[in-house]
Amino acid sequence: MTTFCQNAPWRQTKIIATLGPATPDLASIQALHKAGADVFRLNFSHGSHDEMRQRLQAVRAVEQQCGRPIAVLADLQGPKLRIGTFAGDQAVLEAGQTFVLDLDTARAGDAQRVALPHPEIFAALRPGAQLLLDDGRLRLRVIACDTQHAITRVETGGVLRNRKGVNVPDVPLPISALTDKDRADLHFALELGVDWVALSFVQRAQDITELRALVEGRASIVAKLEKPAAIEALEEIIAATDAVMVARGDLGVELPAEQVPSLQRRIVRACRQSGKPVIIATQMLESMVAAPVPTRAEASDVATAIYEGADAVMLSAESAAGRYPVEAVQMMRRIIAHCESDPNWRDALAATQSAPTATVADAIGLASRHAISLLGAAATAAFTSSGYAAIRASRERPAAPIIGLTPRLATARRLALVWGVHPVVTPELAVGTRIEQLSQVAERHALAAGFAKPGDCIVISAGVPFGTPGTTNLLKITRLAEAASDAPAQN
């Protein structure tokens, strides 16, 4: 895979499209990629392993046709906490009444009690804690509790149906973010060859450490932040993970809605400071599940993520189960393109730019950004084995595209998620490649990608000796030779 083709006019922010019943086959995935999707998400909360295999094979077929690396993100379901069942399949809870939760799954529930078959919740509960049922539609407050029961007062009532979800926002739960299902799904996803694995309901950095031990370097890790406990451990989680997803669905259930926008901004800034890719997800163009155009508020929501400098924005039901999956990706692409053409967009990025760390890689990235700005360079060519150099270059949010040149297909695929990085597999590179050869490769790919033309400057970053991860120590500025027809005549 040595060619490089763009699926849309150049843009820095990436698009993640979730695959599902609305986009199950090669033709639909081709259409999504052509519309602008850079990464495809396999949601292991829905669908069988056979369906996941078929979707991934279709993505790889599109990748071969286009010649451009495409990332696949496996999103693990995580622990789903649910109540039991009711006689008659539902009960009506009135505000102010007492309602009991217990471990007795043998009895059907009624308007006074229901089973909650999760002893780990009772082990963590305390009086005053809040329980949210059915995505927060019903709210309970714990009056008294032990390891077997919880007596609650209904604060917000309504109809409660069988097996609705339970959120416990006030207390960290002593449970692993990986269930037995997740472990089986993880093994299957890694065997398939996914590039990123997203861990749901992360509460602490140890959750990432546990997953990393199982992944064994076969994929990069995304920490999904959707619980208050994760916000309290934000810096430690960012340090432990490879990327972060602001999963606003459950986050918006467990925290007041008015807090989510400021938390989103805080998470994005923390990730940018650390140089970790950050994804904004959930309900970005939700109305396009059923309508061919989004609301103006949704378009503004996507634009906010772009102005904040998020690496990627994600479509969930819009592309997985909606009536207009291709149109949703096209709309996302158009919003990104419009924002990135706004002169104020770069001012907004600069205003949130944080100081680099005192490392050689960051010194190279900072110098590269300044060189691009001063010289009007057309592109940066970042030679990288592990992807680290391209990611650190992306942290600086330079004003020109970053061509991530790597001999490793796995690295190129992972870089498809990263802001401003256009990955290219360069199998001609080998350990010990000389600087002159690196320049030739960089110039050729800058021209092939359409990012530069003869006479333009490009900035090259690499590690010498080439092929050793973490050795970025070279910055070179080169001007592409003018076309032969433009050269002065020789006497």
Contact 81, 122 (CB under 8 A): no
113 is catalytic: no
Tokens 């997740």 map to which residue? 182
82 is catalytic: yes
Compute the C-alpha angle 419/367/268, nearest 5°. Answer: 30
**Rounded to the nearest 5°, which phi and psi values hold at 435?**
-60, -40
Tokens 């050729």 map to which residue? 444
Segments of 342-471 assigned E as strands:
379-383, 402-406, 421-425, 457-463
Element (H, E) at 333: helix 325-340
Round to whole Å and give the CA distance between 297 and 282: 14
182 Cβ partners below 8 Å, 6+ apart?
A: 44, 76, 77, 78
**With b meaning 16 or more CB within 10 Å and e meaning fewer, what string describes 191-202?**
ebebbbbbbbbb
Tokens 């007492």 map to which residue? 98
Tokens of 296: 């103006």
Distance separating the N- and C-terminal Cα atoms of the chain: 43
Candidate list 14, 41, 113, 272, residue with the active-site label: 41
Candidate list 18, 23, 282, 406, residue with the active-site label: 282
Candidate list 14, 204, 212, 224, residue with the active-site label: 224
Amino acid at 131: L
Q: For 203-215, give the secondary structure using H, E and C.
A: CCHHHHHHHHHHH
Q: For 446-489, give the secondary structure using H, E and C.
A: HHHCCCCCCCCEEEEEEECCCCCCCCEEEEEEEECCCCHHHCCC
Chain centroid to CA 435: 34
Candidate list 34, 53, 80, 82, residue with the active-site label: 82
Q: Is the dihedral of CA 135, 236, 183, 26 positive or negative?
A: positive
Round to whole Å and give the CA distance between 432 and 465: 6
Round to whole Å and give the CA distance between 326 and 33: 9
DSSP helix/strand/coil, 37: coil
**Which residues are catalytically annotated?**
41, 82, 224, 282
